[in-house]
Amino acid sequence: MEKPLFPMEYLRITQGYNEGTHLDSYAIDIAGKDGGISEIRAPYTGIIKKIYQNDANEVWLESKDIVEYPDGTKDYMNIMFAHDNNVDDLFVGKEIKKGEIFYHEGTKGNATGNHCHIECGLGKFTNNGWHKNNNGYWSINNGKKPEECLWIDDSIKILDNNNYQFKKISTETVEKEKVIDIPVENKKIPEKIVEKEKIFIAPKTDLYGIYLKKSQKVIIKELS
Ligand SMILES: [Zn+2]
């Protein structure tokens, strides 16, 4: 079961949830290492469910299978990403593999400075994917706190977590998963060691490499 991974190499939250334009939502703004345009990687293997190009190029990615949330929840997840300047390479129904770069920071839709606005939702994509919340902002359906949805690992560098405690995938867990994932046909079964015996009977007393008296037997054991 996949563990959804925070989608950027650098974790820097520039606006938390339930503040400013994120009032009454669990949306966060993430901005990578600097003011440039950073890449966004798929947190899980998923299917694109909706693209909304009339505003901030919002894209909804729904997990292909049930995923493991850091808070212990096991369910589907859908996440809305916003502000990429160009999403022409994406289409509804496209499958994106976990870790694949499929989205970018940008400024599409009245964003001040390059960043990505993300909002995690519990379960599958439902209805239109979002609703207008009590403050007049469009918010994902069944919104859930990002630190309850996204894991981090050793590859992610934390610059500003806005005091949200993201749970770390331990290296030990990764190793265990790798072992389980080995397909059965690739596993090597050790071959049985078969012993064969040859009996050499000396025809006369002579030197045969080792000295043998007549009629002495030598048992040669071959390992095959
Ligand atoms: Zn935002």
In this predicted model, what pLDDT tens digit does every residue of 186-222 receive, in sequence order? 666 656 655 667 777 778 888 777 778 888 887 777 6
Name the 3-class secondary structure at 39: strand
Residue 50, by phi and psi: left (phi above 0), alpha (psi -120 to 50) or beta? beta
- The second-level CATH assignment, the architecture, of 10-181 is Distorted Sandwich (2.70)
Q: What's the CA-to-centroid distance between 15 and ligand 1, angstroms?
A: 7
Rounded to an integer, the average pLDDT of 92-97 is: 97
Please give the pLDDT value at position 159. 96
Compute, in angstroms, the gap from residue 22 CA to the centroid of ligand 1. 6
Segment holding 215, helix H or strand E: none
pLDDT, tens digit, 9 for 90 and up, residues 34-63: 999 999 999 999 999 999 999 999 999 999
CA–centroid distance, 219 to ligand 1, in Å, is 83
Q: What is the pLDDT of residues 140-193, one digit of tens each?
A: 999 999 999 999 999 999 999 999 999 999 866 555 555 556 566 666 665 665
CA of 7 to the centre of ligand 1 (A): 15
Q: Any idea which of 68-72, 95-99, 111-115 has the lowest mean pLDDT?
A: 111-115
Q: What is the pLDDT of residue 206?
A: 80
Averaged pLDDT for residues 134-142: 93
Q: Is the backbone of residue 162 left (phi > 0), alpha (psi -120 to 50) or beta? A: left
At 216, which amino acid appears?
Answer: Q
Task: Quote the ligand 1 centre to 125 CA distance (angstroms).
Answer: 20
Half-sphere exposure in the Cβ direction for 156 (13 Å, CA): 23
d(CA 23, CA 14): 15
In the reported structure, the alpha carbon of residue 87 is separated from the centroid of ligand 1 by a whole-number distance in angstroms of 18
- Delimit the domains of the chain by residue range: 10-181, 190-224
Average pLDDT over residues 15-35: 95
- Cα-to-centroid distance, 32 and ligand 1 (Å): 14
Q: How far is the CA of 53 from the centre of ligand 1 (A)?
A: 16
Q: What's the 24 CA to ligand 1 centre distance in angstroms?
A: 12
* 195, 221 contact by CB (below 8 A): yes
Distance from Cα 92 to the centre of ligand 1, integer Å? 23
Q: Calculate mean pLDDT across residues 104-115.
A: 93
